[in-house]
Amino acid sequence: MVERMLPPRRRGRRARLFEDARVMVEGIVYRYQTGIAWRDLPPVFRPWQTVWTWHHRMAADGTWDRGACEAHRGDGCRGVG
């Protein structure tokens, strides 16, 4: 499910391994679950600035909204995505 939610790779950038994308998403989810500040994100998730950038991009392009509807299909997500 996570792979389908990730934004498409951009041209001209070095390809990232899927594990890296998964770590970014896991870092974002961890931050939401714990309610910690971005700066307090454990280093296992990579630099907090990188995780925040991924979050910012995926929130801006609607990826998080589409993912929430996918995860909670049928729970009133009509009209999103």
pLDDT tens digit string along 11-69? 555 655 555 788 888 999 899 999 999 999 999 998 999 999 989 988 898 887 877 77
Assigned domain for 78 exists = no
Assigned domain for 64 exists = yes
Assigned domain for 57 exists = yes
Position 76 pLDDT exceeds 80 = no
**Structural domain of 42:** 17-71
- The answer to whether the Cα torsion of 11, 41, 77, 1 is positive or negative is positive
Angle between helices 63-71 and 48-60 (to 10 degrees): 80
Assigned domain for 35 exists = yes
Assigned domain for 32 exists = yes
Assigned domain for 10 exists = no
Q: Specify the pTM.
A: 0.67
Question: Domain count of the chain?
Answer: 1
